């Protein structure tokens, strides 16, 4: 199940691994994404640290890590096709796969319903 942060990231855990991406709302707000700066494999991140940067024709945005962990893999295709994030932000297009350092941090994140409700406030 996906969990969501107030900073418009999602994380989907699969055992001790998790996939991180941006929400559909974030992708729409950014507009046409033209560049993604991905983290390096083996980099460690704590909750709230900048894990990636996304640039669009409208603006630039930092992507914050919603959970602590080590980067195991990155979606390399984003380097040549950053627009993939616009096409499928909450589907098969993720930014990084991380090894969860503390799975209990997932409990601090929102469900999709809570996230959507927060958008209208």
| CA angle 113–115–116, rounded 5-degree value | 65
Cβ atoms of 21 and 54 closer than 8 Å: no
Residues 97/69, Cβ–Cβ less than 8 Å: no
| Cα 114 versus chain centre, distance | 17
Q: What is the tens place of the pLDDT at every residue in 23-62? A: 999 999 999 999 999 999 999 999 999 999 999 998 999 9
pLDDT at 121 over 70: no
Name the residue ranges covered by the structural domains of the chain.
2-119
Determine how many CB atoms are found less than 10 A away from the CB of residue 58.
12
Q: Is the pLDDT of residue 79 over 70?
A: yes
CB atoms near residue 89 (< 10 Å): 22
Q: Which fold has domain 2-119?
A: OB fold (Dihydrolipoamide Acetyltransferase, E2P) (2.40.50)
Q: Tell me, what's the pLDDT at 1?
A: 85
Please report which confidence band the pLDDT of residue 120 belongs to, taking 50, 70 and 90 as the band edges: confident
Q: Is the pLDDT of residue 82 over 90?
A: yes
């Amino acid at each position: 199940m996906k969990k969501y942060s107030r900073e418009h990231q999602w994380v989907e855990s699969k055992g001790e691994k998790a996939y991180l991406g941006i929400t559909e709302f974030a992708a729409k707000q950014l507009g046409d994404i033209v560049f993604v700066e991905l983290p390096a494999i083996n980099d460690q991140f704590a909750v709230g640290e900048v894990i990636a940067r996304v640039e669009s024709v409208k603006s630039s945005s930092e992507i914050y890590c919603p959970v602590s962990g080590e980067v195991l893999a990155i979606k390399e295709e984003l380097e040549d096709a950053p627009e993939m994030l616009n096409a499928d932000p909450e589907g098969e297009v993720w930014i990084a796969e991380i090894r969860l350092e503390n799975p209990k941090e997932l409990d601090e994140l929102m469900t999709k319903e809570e996230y959507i409700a927060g958008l209208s406030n």
